[in-house]
Copies of this chain bind each other. A is one copy, B any other.
């Protein structure tokens, strides 16, 4: 990703969205084959959040991600092969295949880590923003988290401290309407985006079905942070098309609601922005990339029991 690109060309957006989507679909197949150790939380339907936000970021910016973070990792530029290998429990994976989906990190591309603790990234992103500020860098930290995480103590602490110190951080709440097996109404009183107001910084709600809207809002928030004007809270309204984990029948979900989101799928819409031949070329490119990633991962040795850490 070149620096300071504010609105990536449509082909790039589609490529990134499709990568997130197909990566997870491919991993889910592997999971069903019994090749993925550990639980697998997919972000199908939420790709535009990660891609839109990361379109506003540089390589030297940092993000913290969650238990549902493949799309964040990919959008921030994590290596597809090393991610695939990690998920398949291979020694060529990001942490030698030992940790899997909930613990992927690549500080070299500014990915401080997915996280098994809901809300666990909030203090870390705040701390990273503090570190960037102390060093006088104009990089920013972005914290991804679900609407369920807004109920954690870390959420209020982080917002307050980020506001007090005018930290260069963007809090991105990916409101996908569910936290595990319960709807957001179980978790969120009032409105997430409004929480920022009381701390004296902007809270913005944005349509997570529209990657351009996400990118625009992110660009503004990131610019604000870079300029030293402090944090922003973005609430991206999206929808978890997958179950909580692969295998979750998600019976608690209203099928009509899910269908409504499928009907305005960001990946499909991004594809429609392109000429069919261009789109088809990207489709091929991504399939080749992922098929290769799976193949290379499966050819690699499995995680080594001698390599505990």
Contact = CB atoms under 8 A, between A and B. Distances in A.
In this complex, which of A161, A164, A195, A198 has the most chain B Cβ atoms within 10 angstroms of its Cβ? A198
- How many chain A residues sit at the interface, stated as a range, is 20 to 34
Given A164-B186, A198-B190, A152 B153 contact: yes
A31 interface: no
B157 A153 contact: yes
Contacts of A197: 190, 194, 197-198
A150 interface: yes
Nearest to A156: B156
A188 interface: yes
Contacts of A191: 198, 200
A161 B153 CA distance: 11
A156 B122 CA distance: 14
A185 to B, nearest CB: 8
A150 B161 CA distance: 11
24 contacts: A150-B160, A151-B157, A152-B157, A153-B153, A153-B154, A153-B155, A153-B156, A155-B156, A156-B156, A159-B189, A160-B187, A160-B188, A163-B189, A163-B190, A164-B186, A189-B200, A189-B201, A190-B198, A190-B199, A190-B200, A191-B198, A191-B200, A194-B198, A197-B198
Q: What are the 3 tightest A-B residue pairs by CB atom distance, in nearest-first order?
A: A153-B153, A156-B156, A163-B189
